[in-house]
Structure 1
């Protein structure tokens, strides 16, 4: 071989490497710092092995910060993210505004018809699926069977709020840092207001009447907030106004809570003996009610959506398909066990004997999801849809502002009456400004 031929071959090899490198696409995925998403990041190598031309970079954020950043980015077409973790609230609003890429062209093997109707319906606008659900959830009661039994009580499968208060009182042992109940107190439309809005439905309250007049000056909202504050002040942990999902999860896992009413997705974490000190003592019940026909449970999914205008749409779709597929579920089951797979999105999961055997909470999760009715969320008729949120663009700001008032009441900075009066005033002002 001549020197010239050898040099040419070397140059070709360098060019080939450069071409391969330039063909590699890097996508940026923004997600929330919840356990299932952290697990997904740990399995990125499986996706990259199946798609060697795609690399994944992660931006992992606390829930309130994630919402703020992805909303700004998608609204301004900032292009920071190629895949966004977004909720059931954002998807239909953003889909209508043309901010998300439609996903009706996912391959047949994805089996979109396997998605639970309640979850899929919340992500569909005029027949177009605008995001794929990573996990779905409602809310339910998680409780310490040993503490309830020691108190001489029994948790009903479908408790009332009065029964919850009775159990909270009987199981509180502040001297040993055991609190009868842990509930969200951190301000945010998706933090304390997710819980309190769902709770208020079971008290007969609502955000707006049929004329879009705010209802925080109603007796139903007063009963809701005062009951909540009474529970937390007497039987809740100190500093509860700073506690969201993750903080309460940690409290429950370390044996500090007799009861926790929150997302059904937490069930796999509180029953995992590697993560929870009380794993073998956890029982489950439906979210409480007041006999008015509505339970205090919500309906939610964390979903993967693709912002319109991304220059990496095909790579982003490949990732969304992988992360929300049946195959991903099987991958998690293989690595972590069936009890730890992302719940609440596919019918086939709740027909899988291996999952049903491994997950004692599976049936309660499915019942809770199917019981939530976003089209008729309240006792009285209302002009909006959404169980723990109001599906209008203004709610993101409104919900957080109201949540700050209620968190301040929990911290003892204002009374319940002041918090409700402030919520009424600020909501009236914003709704008038928005033209309702």
Structure 2
């Protein structure tokens, strides 16, 4: 098969741009689940429209949930005039067919909701979805009384035999490979007869800020949740059974998707402002401020958003990225252009993401002349002069944006299947090209 290659633009001057980042995938897909379970209609404003969020919306529609997509182009900004009205089904319906694609939130969050449907719900997805860990969800739902057929695979394809209700109760699981196992049960747990109590009996849970996001959104929907960070028992989360309130929610920008744009400021010694950056947020991507400052940049809040500036000098970093693993690919790309060695740790779980991100980053950066080696739980990156070549993305959107960052400083980088960025950053190639064109970037 012929590769589709995108020539990554080279920066000839320092960038100076203001960008609008689409809405958070994590917030959008959680909001859709909570709205589907609510007792009244909800609004989700400025949602992310991407493959992952569309898969979630289509999956909910298959179960009988009404989702009206309204657009007002006069509002300006990416998705600024868009709103989705979610009308709960009353009773979720089956039989149904759901495509999870390769979206972690869809494959983990929808099966716990599907047990509440009247009838069987069959789930299938991309080939990579068959390889991603799903045991935490399947085993937990079975322990809570659900019937699931998966042919003994512990993964997709699978069928959830919904009965319209689930007793719920206490369940033990190993969430060390994905925080989404915990969030998945929490999101639907209030609709189980006994609620749900989740006890992690495995190692440390990665991406804990994402569970905090789930807890906060549940509470805003009127659900009572006990969580460890609020003085509760360690590694135990409890949801009390009860009704969910409909909400009118404005989705924050997806802060993790700011990673390549702020990286452009670091690499070129320029300045990038991301509009509407929240002063307070549960998004893990907010840690970009601290991480990139350590690598040689500086940031400040303005009336428009968050402004990040670089000097053109990039420092290596020793960082535990356990809670912000999704930032790793772009941070690794920046580190490959630094003036000293970097050690990225706490990210063994990335071997189970859209692809094995650690192996992929090491191979692709090394194929451009780099010196990246895998450690037990991360990467060691020794900067070397890089050259052009094909950067394979393995259908992983964050590898594609990492390649674009390298291309700023390395002529001749060709990104295979840049279209995979549509998973969370629709129109990324156009946004990236505009970033390097001061006239276009300032709209």
Normalised to the residue count of structure 2, the TM-score between the two structures is 0.26
Structure number having the greater strand percentage? 2
Select the structure with the greater relative contact order (CA < 8 A; seq sep ≥ 6): 1
Structure number having the greater helix percentage? 1
Normalised to the residue count of structure 1, the TM-score between the two structures is 0.27
Structure showing greater Rg: 1
